Amino acid sequence: MPQLLRLGLWFSATVTLSRVGATPSCGIKEGRCSAAAAAGEHLLLQLERGGHLSNGPAVTDDANSCNGMPDIKRKCSSNSCKVLAENMKHFSCSEFCHRSGRRCIRAWEEVSDDCEVRETLSCDQTYGDTSDLLCECSPEVVGVFESAAAGGEHSMSTSGGCKKSCTDMPDVEQKCSPSGCKVLVTNMKDSSCSSYCARTGRACVAAFEEVDETCGVKEVRICDQTYDDTSDLICECAPSEADPAQVGGSSTSASTPSWELVWSDEFDGHQVDRSKWHLEHAGGGFGNEEKQFYRERNAHVGLGSLRITAKCEHYDNHGFTSAKLMTKDKSQWGPGHKIEVRAKLPTGKGTWPAIWMLPAQNAYGKWPASGEIDIMETVGCSADQAHGTVHTGSYNHMTNTQVYSILATPVSQWHTYTLEWNKLGMQWYVDDQLYGAFAPSEHDRGKWPFDQEFYLILNLAVGGSWGGSCLKDGTPSCSSSNEFGNDQVMEVDYVRVYRQA
């Protein structure tokens, strides 16, 4: 079960761009641009945003140099690929190198703002106690997503040439670049620039806090993070649209994946199907100070639905009982699948219903290293909000990297909650409305443990660190009508799992 602080979604990935000061080197027939062109366009984006480039020779096509990388305080190698980078608080060297389409090779903590190494670091880690890092990037431009079929080139639209404008961006208060790809965006509270760019199928390039609702930059921010202290952000999106299929989603009919039903439970019988589900019999808080004991008798099937009932009831030193169903050791699924669950949920304070997944094998270690996928969570303490979340070793509240996506929706009504999952990313939907996407820039196990199979869980927790966050001691009242004065019911119409054909 998830922890107190919610991790979340709305990560986007690939940046596909064209060359500065030259005709875009796009193969119109193939519909793609070269990696060198991608690096050039990224420099144009840096200049558009008022960024500075390192001192030194003009940018060339020299495959052994890294001229033109942003935010460089000092060069630490003859080819400019090892540099002292500034403005790195809460950023990793992987993210720094990706800004110019390169891969991080090594990372270090510097000694007194020079090129001397104090400590060897991980490329993927962020550090909140330093503003400078030594980063070594690959001299070759590799991009974020690479297509083997394209010989390492980046996928582009097939409309002919490289798109360099963003004319369809929503919620724009002010354009901050000639292309319209860097914009001052409204209604961004609890949303990230990655999620904003993903709304038009684009990747986030950079994020900033604005000065007084203008295009002036007050602070550099992180594409993937949400902020509850501001309603406006400056977001810069890649000028070319990413292929939604790369992150497991659908777009037009030309790229919409086809799905084949491979597993389902329509709950048409009179009892829980034990060939499909394991019913938990346990209590103890589950790491979240939850108040319920899970019993089989709290799960009922009839009249075409599953009903999980949480109630005030003393059992085995617990004040509440509920139910938890899992497909563990029976069925599990991995990338290339879609999971749909049609459900309506309770809203009493202290309720914490969830539709979620855990790894069948902890291939990368204990939670959160091997991952967790929350298809849907909601809590009565903040009613009518559907949360979509992932947990990984790199993205979790223990390292202050938690982010999340929320969709305001009346959860007490019937809705279909959907996860689409492929080898590069995931997307979350409510009633076919996309509201979350996760496709990290790198697919190492810290950011992407989701190359393994996971099993499905349906449960209704009571109180605890998140479910009872608005209640005294995290425990709901058994007499209050808006808490547990009445039984609380999570009802599920069906669960369907599809495989991409």
Query: Which residues are catalytic, by number?
Result: 372, 377
Q: Let me know how many helices (H) and strands (E) the chain has, helices first.
A: 4, 30
Q: What phi and psi, each to the nearest 5 degrees, are found at residue 491?
A: -115, 135
**C-beta separation of 193 from 223 below 8 A:** yes
**C-beta separation of 437 from 407 below 8 A:** no
Q: Which of 369, 339, 345, 342 is nearest to 357 (CA)?
A: 339
Neighbours of 501 (CB within 10 A): 8
Q: What phi and psi, each to the nearest 5 degrees, are found at residue 464?
A: 90, -170
Pairing state between β 318-322 and 292-294: parallel
> Residue 260 gets which letter from DSSP?
E
Q: In which order are the strands placed within the sheet that holds 117-121?
A: 72-75, 82-85, 133-137, 104-110, 117-121
Q: How far apart are CA 373 and CA 426, in angstroms?
A: 10
**C-beta separation of 169 from 186 below 8 A:** no
Q: What angle do CA 467, 470, 474 make, to 5 degrees?
A: 60
Q: How far apart are CA 16 and CA 459, in angstroms?
A: 41
Q: How far apart are CA 66 and CA 42, in angstroms?
A: 13
Break the chain down into helix, strand, coil percent, rounded to 5: 10, 35, 55
H or E element that contains 38: helix 35-48
* Omega before 368 within 30 of 0, i.e. cis: yes
Pairing state between β 278-279 and 217-221: unpaired
Q: Which of 257, 233, 252 is nearest to 176 (CA)?
A: 233
Q: Measure Cα distances from 462 to 12, 310, 347, 353, 415 in Å.
A: 33, 7, 12, 8, 22
Count of residues in the chain = 501
